[in-house]
């Protein structure tokens, strides 16, 4: 029983409105650096690029940052959270912690590429 609604639930669900985002200067801080590891470099040959991202970054923000700075449209974005680890310092202090990190796997369409140099 909808008192104030004139549209049905199906009409609301079927009406697709494009999501618009506001560029407030935060896209430049989303991508920290490209991730250079052996696995990431091998994945780059298949159209998958890996970036270090901020912990607060969402998939849509990462996608928009890639589109803005590299002028390519990502097919999909996956985020991996790497936990902090205990590491040996080989000094008198003994053990320290390596900071936690966040990386994003960006999948591109066939034929698209990003120059990371």
- Residue 35 confidence (pLDDT): 93
Which CATH homologous superfamily contains domain 24-108? RRM (RNA recognition motif) domain (3.30.70.330)
Q: How far apart are the first and last CA of the chain?
A: 60
- Residue 16 confidence (pLDDT): 54
- Residue 24 confidence (pLDDT): 61
| Rg from Cα positions in the chain | 20
- The model's pTM: 0.73
For the chain, the domains span: 24-108
- Residue 91 confidence (pLDDT): 83
How many angstroms separate the CA atoms of 78 and 111, rounded? 20
pLDDT tens, the chain, 117 aa long: 556 666 666 665 665 555 555 556 788 899 999 999 999 999 989 999 999 999 999 999 999 999 999 999 999 999 999 999 999 988 888 899 999 999 999 999 998 988 877
Q: Tokens standing for 100?
A: 């936690």
């Amino acid at each position: 029983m909808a008192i104030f609604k004139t549209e049905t639930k199906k009409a609301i669900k079927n009406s697709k409105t494009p999501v618009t985002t506001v560029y407030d200067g935060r896209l430049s801080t989303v991508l920290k650096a490209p991730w250079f590891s052996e696995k990431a470099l091998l994945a780059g040959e298949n159209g998958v690029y890996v970036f270090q991202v901020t912990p607060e970054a969402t998939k849509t923000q990462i996608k928009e940052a890639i589109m803005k700075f590299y002028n390519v449209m990502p097919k999909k974005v996956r985020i991996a959270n790497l936990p902090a680890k205990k590491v040996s310092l080989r000094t008198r202090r003994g053990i320290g912690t390596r900071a936690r990190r966040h990386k994003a796997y960006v999948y591109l369409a066939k034929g698209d590429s990003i120059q990371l140099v």
